[in-house]
Amino acid sequence: MLKLLCCVKQVPDVDQMRMDPETGNLIRAGVPAILNPVDANALSAALKVKETYGGEITLITMGPPNAEAVLRECLAVGADKAILVSDRAFGNADTLATSYSIASAALSQDSYDMIFCGKETIDGATGQMGPQLAERFGAAQVSGALLLKEVNEENKTMIVDRELEKGVETLKVTLPVLFTMEKTNYPVRIPNLKGKMKAKKAEITVLSADDIPGLDRSRIGDPGSPTKVPRMFPPVMPEPGMIIDEGSLEASVAKLMGLIKE
Task: Return the number of the residue (42 or 158) whose C-beta is nearest ligand FAD.
Answer: 42
CB of 177 to ligand FAD, least distance (A): 15
For ligand FAD, the binding residues (CB under 6 A) are: 7-9, 36, 38-39, 60-63, 91-95, 98, 102, 117-118, 120-121, 123-130, 225, 227-229
Half-sphere exposure of 261 (CA within 13 A, CB side): 6
Task: Return the number of the residue (194 or 228) whose C-beta is nearest ligand FAD.
Answer: 228
Helix (H, G, I), strand (E, B) or coil at 87: coil
CB of 128 to ligand FAD, least distance (A): 5
Cis amide leading into 65 (omega within 30):
no
Query: What whole-number distance in Å separates Cα of residue 254 and Cα of residue 251?
Result: 5
CB of 43 to ligand FAD, least distance (A): 9
Task: Return the number of the residue (135 or 150) whose C-beta is nearest ligand FAD.
Answer: 135
Task: Return the number of the residue (157 or 185) whose C-beta is nearest ligand FAD.
Answer: 185
Nearest residue to 88 via CA among 229, 214, 221, 212: 221
Contacts of 67 (CB under 8 A, 6+ apart): 9, 10, 33, 61, 84, 86
CB of 126 to ligand FAD, least distance (A): 3
